[in-house]
Amino acid sequence: MKDADQNPRTVPAPIDPMAYYFKDILLLSNPDAVRLYLIRHGESGGNVARREGRLSDYDPPLTEAGRQQAERVGERLARYGVDAVYASPLQRAYDTGNEVAKRLNLNVNVLDDLQEINEPLRQQGEPFDENLPLPKGVSHDDIKRKFEENPTWDNLPGSENSAHFRERIVRAIDQIVAECPGKKVAVACHGGVIQSYVAHILGLSSDFPFYSFNASITSVRAHKDRRVLWRLNDLAHLEGSRMT
């Protein structure tokens, strides 16, 4: 039997038809494609508070472990030679992005739309009101049950609307793509942002398709209207350290 790769039936014929078929749909070698490195911030005081069952501040700083995580991701992306750094204005994300930027003498471009979702039962910039009542006749068990059946932000009372959240983060990332054709871009943001953006790319209704670790890298290639997931929750730079 003849080797189909060496004797293709089509003209003009690539040496490897499969590579030829996939190269555009997966943005394998497009020089104008943007390489997005979506970074979840390092561990923050809010992450620790949740683990300990305490209420957290609206805009907590990085912990010492979080700063070390941010340094590691900064060192790794500096080796990649990223061309631009964007970040949420919340300090845990900004400070993580700055660990990349300062190693490459770059500025951190702040985009408000990269902020984490407005959390359930909390108003932006306001303290958490633990006495805020649930909807009449609804218990926490009811909410948890409904949320597990359909894990979207819409099923958590007081949360920012899921469609609105996705719309604003897609808008922010589309802006980055438009501003950085052909570049490598670090985007320091939040777990909810990355989870929902991945769900958007994959066409999933769930806002929680995976758990995003602190200081993880999720890589996306983007060109025009195409978005391709290249890497999910990469933690190689944190080897030997505690992952949160």
DSSP 95-146: HHHHHHHTTTT-PEEE-GGGSPP--TT--TTS---TTPPPSTT--HHHHHHH
pLDDT band with cut points at 50, 70 and 90 for residue 8: low
| Lowest mean pLDDT, pick from 121-135, 203-217, 224-238 | 121-135
CB 99 within 8 A of CB 76: no
pTM above 0.85, yes or no: yes
* pLDDT beyond 80 at 58: no
Q: 70: closest CA among 241, 199, 196? A: 241
Q: How many helices (H) and strands (E) does the chain have?
A: 7, 6
pLDDT band with cut points at 50, 70 and 90 for residue 1: very low
Q: 186: closest CA among 69, 65, 41, 61? A: 41
Q: What is the pLDDT of residues 167-218, one digit of tens each?
A: 999 999 999 999 999 999 999 999 999 999 999 999 999 999 999 999 999 9
